[in-house]
Amino acid sequence: MDELISILREIHPDVDYETATNLVDGKILDSFDIISLVGEIADKFDVVVSAEYMIPENFNSAQALWNLIQKLQDDE
Amino acid sequence: MHNHVLKDLKNTVEKYPDKTAFCGEKSALSFRQLDRAIDGIGSFILGEGIRRSPVVVFMEKSPEEVASFFGIIRAGCYYVPIDAEMPSVRIHLILENVQADLLICDEDTEEKARDLGFGGKIVRYGEIAETAVDEAALTAVYDESIDTDPLYVVFTSGSTGIPKGVVGCHRAVNDYIDQLSEVLGFTDETVFGNQTPLYLDACFKELFPTIRYGATTYFVPKTLFMQPLKLVQYLNEKKINTVCWVVSALTIISAFGTFKTEIPKYLRTIAFGSEVFPIKQFRMWRQALPEATFTNLYGPTEGTGMCCYYRVDRDFEEGESIPIGRPFDNTDILLLDEEDREVTKASGKQGEICIRGTSLTLGYMNNPEKTSESFTRNPLQIHWPELIYRTGDIGRYNERGELMFVSRKDFQIKHMGHRIELGEIEVNAQMIEGITGAACVYDKEKGKIVLFYSGDKEEAEMKVLLKDSLPRYMVPNVTRKLERIPLTSNGKTDRVTLMSMVR
């Protein structure tokens, strides 16, 4: 989770990822942020986030994204 | 005969009064409604006594914003679209440059508009769109119009830190739409899915053909460009058959395995540009849609939309580049070497891509210096004054005689489909208190803008501070603090060393 937060901080250092729950709906992350984020996640966590998982619900908070990463890791 | 960009509109309204012209997330306008709003806005502007002047449009992307553009044109004025999400600092630079007397906003942008310190009058779209139509006044303006009159000013990144306003006219837009429509085959059955923003010229591909042919344009919601599956479902739901997108928007679909679940089955015409299409991604598209045509478009804003095209007619191997092809009919491309001599097709040598013809825009707004740098006399023809536009792009012809993009002469980049001068980022970084040096490079491989700087700000803080002055797409992806910016022996920023530090 810490590693994920540091990836997120690289993108937007001014966001409190511990508490934010509207990263997508609040327009904090835009589509290009999501794309680079998915790339970083693939590098760091060795999981592929495919199209079906690219929905706001999975990216609105660091926790939701972390849950997704874990789910994808378990599925493998 | 008048060569006005709205010349076909009345005809289209008569043929397809109730057909949807433009459809956004919150609203839609039929051709009849669009026409009424255009005439209302045009009449309002004329009633205000505003003639042949810039009018700022500061609205959310919507069918109503398009009606404002055309309403301003109807009044014989020219529109200046400003992205409502742009930082105020940059908006000020644009407002200062154009000195407009009128700004049109909407309910969502009104508050920000009133905080801009705009010197002229601010009106809401809703207040003016239903103005009683002054037929006589509108006709008089139309009859007086000539096709070299301006109709828009769109702002592009400037290396000195100040955006440049490109002024375009009726004649060039009409010519562009003639050529583009022929190449891509637009008709009244065309259903566009628009992706590009309305504050640039990229959206002309949809806006003008829609009113000319009675086509329909859907503004694809921005949030769908992070949800590839939903994006394709949207395209299918709206039966979209034509897209003219930046490459990165197309690869969002192909890169995440979307085609395994859903294919954009109505798509027949796919045009792309502004960036290099990674061949691996491109092949996925062609495989998913073997019946569709794929066309690479190339052209700077200064050449009115696009000026070259290549219709894909063969397979490409990884590592190859898709050509930019050939100029549209009625446009000429010159390749000039460093001594301003012509580079011939057969030589295979590189030269600066220069544009000649009707497609040239009128120049930069209130900026004679920059205008004369890029819009110059044609050095190959000395007998009378003839302008060319020097793009700053380096090109060459391949063995098939197709034009290929090679690189840039300067520090302009294409990042996520946006044209950016790295110099503009550097100037904005240097303006931050406590910053003693700044240099920007682009990591093409990773698609990241990397800013090196020296000064007393931390790396994270630097990024946050830059958000106040730069549009989102220009904010560096990586900020790196250095003791000092490395210089070459003759005192220039040592970009080679900086690039090696990125790797």
Q: Domains of chain B, with CATH numbers?
A: 23-145 (3.40.50.980), 329-408 (2.30.38.10), 412-502 (3.30.300.30)
Nearest-by-Cβ selection for A35 from B222, B252, B257: B252
Interface of A with B in 11-70 (CB under 8 A): 11-14, 24, 29-32, 34-36, 38, 48-52, 54-56, 59
Sheet with B102-105, strands from edge to edge, namely B121-124, B102-105, B54-58, B78-81, B150-156, B164-169, B363-364
B381-413 pLDDT, tens digit per residue, is: 999 999 999 999 999 999 999 999 999 999 999
pLDDT at B300: 96
CB contact (8 A) between residue B223 and residue A32: no
| Contact residues, chain A, for B467 at CB < 8 Å | 14
B303-322 pLDDT, tens digit per residue, is: 999 999 999 999 999 889 99
Angle among Cα A63, A64, A69 to the nearest 5 degrees reads: 95
CB contact (8 A) between residue B257 and residue A51: yes
Host H or E run for residue B22: strand B20-23
| Contact residues, chain A, for B472 at CB < 8 Å | 30
Nearest CA in chain B to A56: B227
pLDDT at B417: 85
| Contact residues, chain A, for B460 at CB < 8 Å | 9, 13-14
Residues making up chain A, counted from first to last:
76
Q: Which of B83, B108, B195, B226 to mutate to test the interface with A (most CBs of A within 10 A)?
A: B226
B270-303 pLDDT, tens digit per residue, is: 999 878 899 999 999 999 999 999 999 999 999 9
DSSP-derived secondary structure letter, B304: S
CB contact (8 A) between residue B223 and residue A31: yes
Q: What is the pLDDT averaged over residues B245-263?
A: 94
CB A66 within 8 Å of CB A18: no
Interface of B with A in 172-231 (CB under 8 A): 222-223, 225-230
Nearest CA in chain A to B225: A31
| Contact residues, chain A, for B257 at CB < 8 Å | 48, 50-51
Q: What is the pLDDT averaged over residues A55-75?
A: 94
| Contact residues, chain B, for A40 at CB < 8 Å | none
The gap from C-alpha B154 to its chain's centroid, in whole angstroms, comes to: 8
- The pTM for the full model equals 0.94
Q: What is the pLDDT averaged over residues B134-159?
A: 96
At B489, the pLDDT band (50, 70, 90 cuts) reads confident
Tell me the three-class secondary structure of B31-74, residue by residue: HHHHHHHHHHHHHHHHHCCCCCCEEEEECCCCHHHHHHHHHHHH
Q: How many domains does chain A have?
A: 1
Q: How many CB atoms lie within 10 A of CB A23?
A: 24
CB contact (8 A) between residue B229 and residue A13: no
CATH number where A8 lies: 1.10.1200.10
Q: Which of B108, B223, B227 to mutate to test the interface with A (most CBs of A within 10 A)?
A: B227
Q: How far is A60 from chain B (nearest CA, A)?
A: 12
pLDDT at B434: 94
Poorest-pLDDT segment among B105-114, B394-403, B437-446: B437-446
Q: What is the pLDDT averaged over residues B260-264?
A: 96
What's the domain range around A56?
2-75
